[in-house]
């Protein structure tokens, strides 16, 4: 009765007394005398590996097995037993002729000395240089499993709350945020003389290539910075919707929070105001926290030790036990000004009408509230054209959710549903309303109050894992100056 146990995560204790098969990579190996050989095997399905104990004289290839070194991939069939001593709950014993240790991928002994992922402490900086191998580290393995569950939790949350998943385009002609940080799309199509394409009437660039950046799409095209404008179109037809995909920003900033390619979750709610949108954002983030606390227990335990954050799990539990904080921008300014009056020193001035600097946001989330805080009703001056103008004519119904250690986790707003006000705001923001005729049509044909938000998925991963650098929560980070791997 040989059972293939492909997923060590599914409590291996359940297999005690049975013969089963596991396959994975040797993390470490060691011999104890001439007759015993130990392999610490891990298959990446969970943080923990399993110990394989091989006795000499029981299998034919014992002499080869004792040469197994770190990173060798092996498939083992043996008896699951409760170890006599030690802290482990289960190990696999190779002690009879029906048992097997099969070497699937051996390593040249010379190479094994320089194997970059040898079991030892690796700094996160070093791991980034070997991003192709770093998923074999405990840290990145834990983060990858948490990231997977956060993606899954995202779909569970929105699907079970009646939102439809919409796939919005990655190539677009519009700059949703108006920040001028877009990557332009061009092609690698051959030069006209080498191609069979008819080039008559085509626009050529200086080198005589077809300028496909304009010609392919008939207008300049870019990688999207946000799926919002597209998802709004579906919201104004299907009611509550969301999109979840990669977004791109030519961010030249070298911070621990900015990527050039990141994933964003963007729900859009129909017949909703900014408070409904903030409720949705809070409910979603809490659901994600709870999901990870329930389904990534051993990953979180590992991370709280590895990151030297002994309070991590308790802190995350605390976040879901009560409401997040919420206050208006105007109240936030008053609060910050009071702090200044009491001796708090900021580098950036605190003044109504000015943007909140990172240090102000951190002060609110980390010092004042010590939990995520949504700041709403910002002055319109530094906010995007699509945000709904409030009755005061000075502020817009926009909010940012700021989280300790993470900074801005979410940006969202109620959208301007009044055609005339929207057109005016576009012109004020330097946009040509004619370019957005399709967006404005939503306001012409049965406009409704609606709104949504964008949550930076990597920042959510940071919040839920305790990891402090955005480069370590995405498999292959793309940042200014780095698109390796
Ligand atoms: O605040 P942002 O720019 O909002 C929008 O794009 C809206 N159109 C979203 C919407 O309402 N549908 O970006 C949303 C979030 C930020 O709060 C942040 O978490 C994340 O996206 N983000 C980044 N994450 C990593 N690297 C970057 N360069 C990021 N820029 C924004
Ligand atoms: Mg923002």
pLDDT in tens, 99-119: 999 999 999 988 988 999 988
Note the residue count of the chain: 485
**What are the structure tokens assigned to 142, written together?**
């834990």
List the chain domain ranges: 2-112, 136-170+235-472, 187-212
Q: How many whole angstroms separate alpha carbon 141 and alpha carbon 428?
A: 48
pLDDT surpasses 70 at 191: no
Q: How many CA atoms lie within 13 A of 103 on its CB side?
A: 18
pLDDT of residue 2: 56
Average pLDDT over residues 271-275: 98
pTM of the model: 0.94
pLDDT surpasses 70 at 205: no
Architecture of domain 136-170+235-472: 2-Layer Sandwich (3.30)
The CATH number assigned to the domain with range 2-112 reads 2.40.50.140
Q: Is the CB of 415 under 6 A from ligand 1?
A: no
- DSSP per-residue codes, 51-79: EEEEETTSSTTHHHHTT--TT-EEEEEEE
Q: Given ligand 1 and candidates 226, 263, 405, which is best to mutate, with the most ligand atoms within 8 Å of its CB?
A: 226
More confident residue, 193 or 42: 42
Q: How many whole angstroms separate alpha carbon 290 and alpha carbon 165?
A: 22
pLDDT of residue 113: 87
Cα distances (angstroms) measured from residue 107 to each of 26, 104, 115, 198: 11, 10, 9, 53
Q: How many whole angstroms separate alpha carbon 421 and alpha carbon 283?
A: 31
ipTM of the shown complex: 0.99
Q: Is the CB of 417 under 6 A from ligand 1?
A: no
pLDDT surpasses 90 at 13: no
Q: How buried is 342 (Cβ within 10 angstroms: 0-12 exposed, 13-18 middle, 19+ buried)?
A: exposed
CA 418 / ligand 2 centre spacing (Å): 23
Evaluate whether 2-112 and 136-170+235-472 have a shared fold.
no
pLDDT of residue 188: 76
- Per DSSP, the three-state class of 434 is helix
pLDDT surpasses 80 at 35: yes
| pLDDT tens, residue by residue, 364-423 | 999 999 999 999 999 999 999 999 999 999 999 999 999 999 999 999 999 999 999 999
CA 262 / ligand 1 centre spacing (Å): 9
Q: Is the CB of 409 under 6 A from ligand 1?
A: yes
Residue 470: count other Cβ atoms within 10 Å of its Cβ. Answer: 21
| pLDDT tens, residue by residue, 36-78 | 999 999 999 888 889 999 999 999 999 999 999 999 999 999 9
Q: Which residue has the tokens 């110990």?
A: 51
pLDDT of residue 196: 47
pLDDT surpasses 90 at 272: yes
pLDDT of residue 48: 86
More confident residue, 174 or 143: 143
Q: How confident is the model at residue 29 (pLDDT cuts 50, 70, 90)?
A: very high
Q: Which residues contact 384 (CB under 8 A, 6 or more apart)?
A: 176, 177, 178, 398, 413, 429
Calculate the average pLDDT of the chain.
93
Q: How many whole angstroms separate alpha carbon 163 and alpha carbon 231?
A: 12
Query: What are phi and psi for residue 420, nearest 5 degrees?
Result: -65, -40
Give how far the C-alpha of residue 374 lies from the chain's centroid of Cα atoms, to the nearest Å.
20
Average pLDDT over residues 214-237: 91
Residue identifier of the C-alpha nearest atom 25 of ligand 1: 258
Helices (H), 162-311: 212-215, 228-238, 274-295, 297-306
Average pLDDT over residues 238-250: 98
Average pLDDT over residues 233-261: 97
Q: Is the CB of 459 under 6 A from ligand 1?
A: yes
Cβ contact 407:257 at 8 Å: yes
61-95 burial code (b ≥16 CB/10 A, e <16): ebeebeebbbbbbbebbbbbbeeeeeeeebbbbbb
| pLDDT tens, residue by residue, 414-451 | 999 999 999 999 999 999 999 999 999 999 999 999 99
Residue identifier of the C-alpha nearest atom 21 of ligand 1: 456
**What are the structure tokens assigned to 95, written together?**
């002690």
Residue identifier of the C-alpha nearest atom 23 of ligand 1: 456
What sign results for the dihedral spanned by CA atoms 221, 226, 228, 234? positive
Q: Is the CB of 361 under 6 A from ligand 1?
A: no
Partner residues linked to 164 by β-bridges: 241
pLDDT surpasses 70 at 341: yes
């Amino acid at each position: 009765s040989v059972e293939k146990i492909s997923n060590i995560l599914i409590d291996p204790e359940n297999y005690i007394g049975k013969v089963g098969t596991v396959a994975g990579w040797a993390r470490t190996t060691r011999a104890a005398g001439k007759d015993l050989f130990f392999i610490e095997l891990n298959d990446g399905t969970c943080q923990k590996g399993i110990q394989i104990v091989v006795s000499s004289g029981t299998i034919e290839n014992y002499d080869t097995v004792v040469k197994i070194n770190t990173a060798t991939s092996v498939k083992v069939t043996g008896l699951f037993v409760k170890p006599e001593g030690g802290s482990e709950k289960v190990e696999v014993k190779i002690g009879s002729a029906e048992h097997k240790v099969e070497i699937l991928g051996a390593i040249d002994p010379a190479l094994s000395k320089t194997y970059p992922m040898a079991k030892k402490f690796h700094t996160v900086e070093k791991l980034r240089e070997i991003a192709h191998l770093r998923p074999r580290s405990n840290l990145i393995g834990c983060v990858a499993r948490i990231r997977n569950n956060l993606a899954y939790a995202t779909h569970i949350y929105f699907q079970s709350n009646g939102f439809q998943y919409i796939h919005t385009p990655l190539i677009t002609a519009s700059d949703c945020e108006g920040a001028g940080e877009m990557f332009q799309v061009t092609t690698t199509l051959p030069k006209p003389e080498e191609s069979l394409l008819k080039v008559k009437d085509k626009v050529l660039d200086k080198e005589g290539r077809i300028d496909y950046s304009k010609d392919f799409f008939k207008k300049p095209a870019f990688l999207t910075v946000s799926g919002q404008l597209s998802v709004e179109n579906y919201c104004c037809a299907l009611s509550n919707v969301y999109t979840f995909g990669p977004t791109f920003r030519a961010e030249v900033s070298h911070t621990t929070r900015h990527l050039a390619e990141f994933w964003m979750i963007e729900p859009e709610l129909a017949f909703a105001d900014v408070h409904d949108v903030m409720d949705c954002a809070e409910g979603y983030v809490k659901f994600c926290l709870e999901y990870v606390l329930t389904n990534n227990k051993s990953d979180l335990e590992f991370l709280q030790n590895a990151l030297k954050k002994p309070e991590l799990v308790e802190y995350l539990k605390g976040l879901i036990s009560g409401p997040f904080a919420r206050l208006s921008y105007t109240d936030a300014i008053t609060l910050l000004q009071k702090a200044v009056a009491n001796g708090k020193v900021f580098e950036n001035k605190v003044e109504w009408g000015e943007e909140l600097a990172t240090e102000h946001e951190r002060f609110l989330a980390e010092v004042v509230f010590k939990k995520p805080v949504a700041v709403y009703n910002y002055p319109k001056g530094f906010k995007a054209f699509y945000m709904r103008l409030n009755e005061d004519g000075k502020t817009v119904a926009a909010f940012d959710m700021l989280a300790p250690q993470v900074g801005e986790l979410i940006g969202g707003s109620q959208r301007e549903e009044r055609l005339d006000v929207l057109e005016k705001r576009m012109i004020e923001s330097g946009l040509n309303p004619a370019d957005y005729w399709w967006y404005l049509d939503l306001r012409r044909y049965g406009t409704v109050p609606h709104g949504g938000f964008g949550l930076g998925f990597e920042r959510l991963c940071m919040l839920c894992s305790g990891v402090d650098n955005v480069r370590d929560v995405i498999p292959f980070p793309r940042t200014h100056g780095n698109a390796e791997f």
